[in-house]
Amino acid sequence: MKNILIIHTGGTISMLENKETGEVNRTGKHPLTDVAEHFRNTANIDEIMAFDLPSPQITPRHMLQLAQTVERNTRHFDGVVITHGTDTLEETAYFLDLVVDTNKPVILTGAMRSSNEIGSDALYNLISAVRVAADQNATGKGILVVMNDEIHTAANVTKTSTSNVATFKSPQQGPIGGITKESVLFHHPTFPKKTKPVSNISKQVLLLKAYAGMDHQILEAVLKTNLDGLVIEAFGQGNLPRETVDPLKSMIDRGIPVVLVSRSYQGVVQPIYGYPGGGRNLRDMGVIFSNGLTGPKARIKLLIELEHTQDFSVLQKSFLE
Ligand SMILES: NC(=O)C[C@H](N)C(=O)O
């Protein structure tokens, strides 16, 4: 029998709907109490409640705490399932992927409909996540996300719909596996990276999205804050309006790393265009190019990297891996 630990952190999967008002809220204890029952002959289930937070309230410090809880427990279990709110699930999954050093399956899941709503995906996703955590083929694949019969990598997965249960997608490559009534099937290889443990998250990293007409003002305002790093979601292949160039240059001259990702949800940023604000111009100025991450995930990565280094070439190498 496999030994699986479920770590609850809150989110809709931990909530119930008030049938009179329709409001969905926390209950104080986890409403899904019959999970172990489904695995009577296949897995022993242990559960702990790390937090009981709606995921918009999860911060990188909570993610660090969660990583430490996972690390403390992995040697006693064959696999770990983490229940989490879906709003920031992809950021927590990616944080854990970057720092938790384990070969054992660690699976995040959540729900779009709380446990007592019609058509709830809460118990179903939790059972699916436990099945993947107990599957031998899930080992050595980094942190995975299981939702709606699909298995995704932490680096690629993102919430695409506000309310549909089929919300989690991996726009760069699709899911790496699926779950049927009978089996857990992996159909794409994964390329897990070396993890970088951190004992603290102490830096201030902001995230901005480019828009037509973006100028110097917002960047100058940002420069007045206590800033250790900036991520910008640029246009297309990695271009920005020319008015952003001077304040970005001041930031880089002050030693503040600026990481570029695209606001397009597929593809990577590249130094192609030479005009002021074009990708080539930004790269020559010292902007760091990231390899297909979303803005929120590049921010998580920069927060972790900055605990180790501020060196431009080390950061650039790591963001291209
Ligand atoms: N479906 C969900 O879990 C959304 C919720 N607001 C959360 O992230 O906590």
Using left for φ > 0, alpha for ψ between -120 and 50, and beta otherwise, residue 292 falls in: left
Pairing of strands 79-83, 150-153: unpaired
Contact 266, 236 (CB under 8 A): no
Q: How far is the CA of 316 from the centre of ligand 1 (A)?
A: 33
Question: Model-level pTM?
Answer: 0.97
109 assigned to active site: no
86 assigned to active site: yes
Residue 192: what pLDDT? 80
Q: How far is the CA of 33 from the centre of ligand 1 (A)?
A: 19
Residue 193's Cα: distance from chain center in Å?
Answer: 15
Residue 175: what pLDDT? 98
Handedness of CA 70, 75, 77, 78 (dihedral sign): positive
Six-digit token pair at 109?
A: 């899941």
Across the chain, which has 321 residues, the per-10-residue mean pLDDT values are 96 96 89 86 93 97 98 96 98 98 97 97 97 97 98 98 98 96 96 92 98 97 96 98 98 97 97 98 97 96 97 95 87
Q: Listing from the earlier edge strand, what are the strands of the sheet with 43-49?
A: 43-49, 2-8, 79-83, 106-109, 143-147, 150-153, 177-179, 184-186
Pocket around ligand 1 at a 6 A CB cut-off: 11-12, 54-55, 85-87, 110, 112
Residue 193: what pLDDT? 85
Q: How far is the CA of 85 from the centre of ligand 1 (A)?
A: 4
The residue written with tokens 């083929």 in the block is 137
The reply to whether ipTM tops 0.85 is yes
Probe residue for ligand 1, chosen from 32, 52, 55 as the CB with the greatest number of ligand atoms within 8 Å: 55
Burial class (CB in 10 A: 0-12, 13-18, 19+), 95: buried
Nearest Cα to 62, choosing from 31, 85, 46? 85
The residue type at 127: I
Give the whole-angstrom CA distance, residue 254 versus residue 260: 17
Residue 42: what pLDDT? 87
Residue 187: what pLDDT? 97
**Ordered structural domains, the chain, with CATH:** 2-186 (3.40.50.1170), 205-320 (3.40.50.40)
